[in-house]
Amino acid sequence: MAMFDNLHLTNMLRSEVESIPETGLPLDAFPDKIQEIILNLAKYENFNVEYTVSIILSAVATAIGNSCHIRIKGEWKTCPSLYMMLVGRPGLGKTPPLGFIYKPINEYDDRLHEKYNEECDEYERAMSVSKHGNDGEERLLKKPTILLQRRC
């Protein structure tokens, strides 16, 4: 006989009551809040549970990026990469959870890109003033760069 913890049993009952199809996915592997989000998206937005879980895993890997590394063996380290492909017929519901779950990441990326553009504009203005010898003082400016990776 299989043993279930309270959270797993609660998720099973909630899925049955709310007519969320049983997927066999171990939702209890996720923190409570993530489980709640997955089940709420299935209930209120009619998102496919399998796609939602897959996209959440992909979004977490994207958010981590190169900021942390895993020591594999000895000095061999790597970042936690995850490659995801959503496969399904058109209209099966792949895009809505993708857009919803990646929205905060995309908005953050847009803010960083806007900041980069502003810094580039400021750099170009300063270089233009410097070339025209506004006050005769040559300024050393560092051209902005896009941050590609962060390390712990």
pLDDT at residue 18, rounded to an integer: 67
Q: Chain-wide mean pLDDT for the chain?
A: 83
Mean pLDDT, range 119-141, rounded to an integer: 72
> What gap in Å lies between CA 78 and CA 89, rounded to an integer?
34
Burial bucket for residue 105 (CB in 10 Å: 0-12, 13-18, 19+): middle
Whether 11 contacts 49, CB under 8 Å: no
The single-letter DSSP state of residue 85 is -
pLDDT at residue 152, rounded to an integer: 41
Band (pLDDT 50/70/90 cuts) for residue 136 is very low
The total of other beta-carbon atoms located within 10 Å of residue 127's CB is: 13
Q: Please give the residue that has the higher pLDDT: either 42 or 132.
A: 42
pLDDT at residue 2, rounded to an integer: 57
Q: Please give the residue that has the higher pLDDT: either 60 or 11.
A: 60
- Phi/psi at 72 (nearest 5 deg)? -80, -55
Give 51-102 pLDDT, tens digit per residue.
999 999 999 999 988 888 888 999 999 887 888 899 999 999 999 999 999 9
